[in-house]
Chain A
C-alpha cells in the first residue's frame, strides 16, 4: 500500500465520530473526578513538580474545567464539533499543565488524540480521507508496541520479578485477585509478565490486519480486565484504552475478517 493510500484513501467517518464522542465523555469524567481535589491539585504552593511550576491563577483552572464540560457536552450533542473539539483540547491541555504533578502517560495519550481530533472531519456520516483516523490508530498501537518492547528489554520483566514486586506493592498491588491468590510467587509472575509482553506487542500489530483484529481486541480486553483485577490503577486508564476499539471497527464489517457481512453471509 502506498503512503497516499494508507493515509488519504476515503473511509467512513463514523469510527472517528464515535471515538470523539467517547473521548469527550471520558475527558469530562476525568475532570469531574478531579473537582473535589481542585485546590490540592492546582492551587497549593507546595509540592509542585508539574509542567507549570508557579501556582496558576485558580480562575484559569475553573474556566478550563467549564470549557471541558461545555465542549464535551457540545460534542455529545453534535453541535459545532470542530470548535468544541478545539475548546476541549486547549482546556484539557491547560489542566494537565497546571496540575501540581506531571501528567500520567494515559493523560498525555488522551491529549495527543485530542490534538489529532482537532483536524478530524466534523460530520458524523459519509466518507473522508482517513489520515486522522490512521494517526489515532497508529498512536494507540505505538503506545502498546513501545510498552511491550520496553518490557522485553527489562530484565525484571523477562524473569517476572517486576510483576511479583508490583503485585505485592501496597500502593499498586495486593488488590482483588492479587490479594486473594498468591500471584506474586511461583511461576505466576513469569506467566503474567510474558503474557503481558506478548499481549502488548500482539495488540500493537494485530489490530491492523482483519484476520487478527478480533483476537487482538480480545487480547486488549483480557489485558485490561487482568490489570483491573490485580492492580490499583485508575479505571480511567482502562476506559481510555478500551474506547479506542471503535476506531478499528469498520461499518458493515464489524471487527473480523475484513469481508463485508453480506459477503460472509453469502459464503
Chain B
C-alpha cells in the first residue's frame, strides 16, 4: 500500500518529468521562432513533409569487366525501403550529394566491388550514377557520382 511519504516522493518525481517535458516543448517552440542560424535556431519537431523534396533521386551502379558494362543490382544489399515507399538507403544518402565526402563514396564503392569479387565476378571498374527526377519540371537528369577501380 502506498504511504503518504511514498506518494509525495512519487508526485515529486512526476513533477520533475512533467516540468522537463514542458521545458523541452517550450525550447523547441522558441528555437523554431528564433531568426538566428543553427544551432541557436532549429526547425519545429514533428514537421512531417513540411518541405517535401522537389527532386526524386535514385542511385545506379554500373560495373565494367573488360569492355562490357552491366548494371549492378544494389538492392541485393540495400533492399529495405521503409514501409510502402520505394526509397532505398542508397537513393538519398548524403554521401552521394556532398562533394566533401568523396572518401566515404570511395569506401562504399570498394565495399560493393569487394562483394562482387567475392561472388567470383571480374570487376575492372565501378561507376556510380545518380538519376534525378525534378518533380516540378518533370526533367530527368543523370549525374556522375564517381568512377572507381578495385
Q: Which residues of A contact B (CB under 8 A)?
A: 7-8, 34, 37, 40-41, 44-47, 49, 100-101, 104-105, 109, 116, 119, 129, 131-132, 135, 138-139, 142-144, 146-147, 149-151, 153-154, 156-157, 162, 165-166, 168-172, 175, 232-237
Contact = CB atoms under 8 A, between A and B. Distances in A.
Given A129-B14, A142-B25, A165-B52, A233 B107 contact: no
Nearest to A99: B80
Interface stretch (B43-51, B122-130, B142-150): B43-51
A119 B79 CA distance: 38
A195 B142 CA distance: 36
Nearest to B75: A40
B11 A150 contact: no
Contacts of B84: 175, 232-235
A166 B56 contact: no
B63 to A, nearest CB: 17
B94 interface: yes
B53 interface: yes
Interface string B1-35: 00000000001011001100100010011001000
24 contacts: A8-B14, A40-B78, A45-B111, A101-B89, A119-B13, A119-B17, A131-B17, A143-B45, A143-B46, A146-B28, A146-B45, A147-B47, A150-B43, A150-B44, A150-B50, A151-B49, A154-B50, A157-B50, A165-B53, A171-B86, A172-B52, A172-B87, A232-B86, A237-B83
Most buried by B among A49, A146, A147, A149: A146
B48 A147 contact: yes
A233 B56 contact: no
A170 B46 contact: no
B25 to A, nearest CB: 6
B64 interface: no
A135 B44 contact: no
Most buried by A among B29, B49, B91, B95: B49
- Top 7 nearest A-B pairs (CB, nearest first) are A234-B83, A150-B47, A232-B84, A37-B80, A171-B87, A166-B52, A143-B46
Interface of B: 11, 13-14, 17-18, 21, 25, 28-29, 32, 43-54, 56, 77-80, 82-87, 89-91, 93-95, 107-108, 111, 133, 135-136
Contacts, number: 122
Contacts of B108: 46-47
Interface of B (DSSP majority class): loop
A46 B94 CA distance: 12
Contacts of A170: 56, 86, 133
Contacts of B50: 147, 150-151, 154, 157, 162
A242 B50 CA distance: 21
Contacts of A131: 14, 17-18
A105 B46 contact: yes
Contacts of B46: 105, 109, 142-144, 146-147, 150
A31 B11 CA distance: 34
Contacts of B32: 150
B89 A233 contact: no
Given A46-B107, A151-B50, A234-B85, 16 more contacts: A47-B78, A47-B108, A119-B14, A119-B17, A135-B21, A146-B29, A147-B50, A150-B44, A151-B49, A153-B44, A154-B50, A168-B135, A169-B56, A235-B84, A236-B83, A237-B83
B49 A166 contact: yes
Contacts of B13: 119
Nearest to B111: A46
A58 to B, nearest CB: 16
Contacts of A46: 107-108, 111
